[in-house]
Amino acid sequence: MLRVQSDVPGGELAADVSRLRALVRSGATSSLAWRLDQLVALRSALVRDEDVLVRALAVDLGKPAAEAMITEIGVVVAEIDYVRRHLAGWVRGDKVRVGLAGWPGRASVERCPLGVVLVVSPWNYPVYLGVMPVVSALAAGSCAVVKPSELAPATAAALARLLPAATPAAVVAEGGPSVVHEALSAGVDHLFFTGSTAVGRIVAESAGRLLVPVTLELGGKCPAVVDATVDPRAAARRIVWGKFANAGQTCVAPDYVLVHQEVADRFADEVCAAVRAFYGADPRRSPDYGRIVDKRHLDRLLQILEGHAGRVVLGGGCDPDDRYLAPTVVREPALSSRLMREEIFGPVLPVVAVADVPRALEVVGALPDPLAVYAFTRDAGTIRALRDGTRSGGFFVNVAKSQLGIAGLAFGGIGQSGTGSSRGRLGVEALSQHRSLYARPAWPDLALHHPPYGNLGTWLLRRMLHMPGRPRHEGAPTGRS
């Protein structure tokens, strides 16, 4: 029953959503013990089925085994361990001081299970982005319906076997976009979507009509800014790893590099050297280099590479039958070209020389706010200028994408790159209901809280509310003293 393939609203998926909601409303998911048990079971399933997931990722994306372990499975296991260590403190209610106005009562804010969360995950990191929100949902005492991408069918099938076997709080619904509509119509309590900005707008609009709150993890052109103070070789190697892992199909990968003109030539040479060092003279033969997900995305990348008016200094080779596009470096493309206006989402790295940090800020500021800004520098003033002069979901210094390996570090966007946060405490908070509690004893029942108030009562109430004392308005009723 838990592996759903349905296109008819009100079918099996609606029944499963009802079952999950009943599980939440039974109160069973509220206890800390239940939440920890589900996280342990999920962790055990990921470790046990690691080989199955690695093989599926290789089929769908040509993802190398080591890369799959590091960026897909291992990072989720580390997140589970982090959440388990801190969850007891996170879910504890927060006391709120009631002051004289609320005396003798007590108030607090508790974190309750939100309900059923719909997770719409993409194809580029189908395990990481499909399971990570489930970790937050289980930690919050909520349940999850996971809709994997149909573009990664082998991994979707593997998750359809793994997740329901690990926990009764998870359903996997395979299929196309109609599954999202069906789940929303079934009455989920939150939508967690990861994907492109264009599709995110459509999904958010559909959720908005049903008043379903959303977390959106979208995309954008994430810039890397390299100044003249940093070692070009070290910066190049970190950027090359962040860019070309998963064949560049990463939403937080450096999309383009703005490098100080004094070191631009050396930096570009070091980028080419790093590509050769990582993937060899022929990356197609490298066991550590992935593939484009399908022909449609490969065609899109080839179209973006046309008419950029720059110089291809490395790569450019393509084998459509193998879904292969070589790691490609383009020097000085036109800023008006598609290469510099659209999110690349593939193994193509533009390198543009700039005169100074203000010019870099102009280029970055002309594009929508990205998920990440990467600063490569040893100068504290440059870090401050880039941090204060840009808007992004995250700001990172001398790293490129490796922030994803830090368990508990919140992830999210701003503007067109997304809304809301995931992972760590913020991920659990996002999938919890923050419920206010206030209780007063039945005795004493203070007359001060009820009319008629009179001058003395009004004066006392103003003091309780920290309002400045004022004379009675002329003509106002006096009431009792």
Q: Which of 217, 222, 318, 343 is catalytic?
A: 217
Return left, alpha or beta for 225; rule: phi > 0 is left, psi -120 to 50 is alpha, else beta. beta
Start-end of H helices in 326-445: 338-341, 357-365, 380-389, 424-430
Tokens of 15: 């029944």
Long-range contacts of 83-86 (CB under 8 A, 24+ apart): 83/39, 83/135, 83/136, 83/139, 83/408, 83/424, 83/428, 84/36, 84/39, 84/40, 86/408, 86/425
Distances from the Cα of 220 to the Cα of 334, 345, 403, angstroms: 18, 9, 17
Q: Which of 149, 210, 159 has its CA nearest to residue 53?
A: 159
- Residue 250: CA count within 13 A, CB half-sphere: 31
Return left, alpha or beta for 211; rule: phi > 0 is left, psi -120 to 50 is alpha, else beta. left
Residue for token pair 């504290």: 380
Rounded to whole angstroms, how far apart are CA atoms 57 and 55? 5
- Residue 29: CA count within 13 A, CB half-sphere: 28
Tokens of 302: 């080839």
How many other C-beta atoms can be found within 10 angstroms of the C-beta atom of residue 279? 20
Q: Which of 143, 222, 251, 318 is catalytic?
A: 251
Rounded to whole angstroms, how far apart are CA atoms 159 and 407? 22
For 138, phi then psi, to 5°, come to: -60, -40
Per the annotation, the verdict on 150 as an active-site residue is no
Per the annotation, the verdict on 429 as an active-site residue is no
Would you tell me the crossing angle of helices 177-185 and 12-25 to the nearest 10 degrees? Answer: 50
Question: Which residues are registered as beta bridge partners of 170?
Answer: 144
**Among all residues, which ones are annotated catalytic?**
217, 251
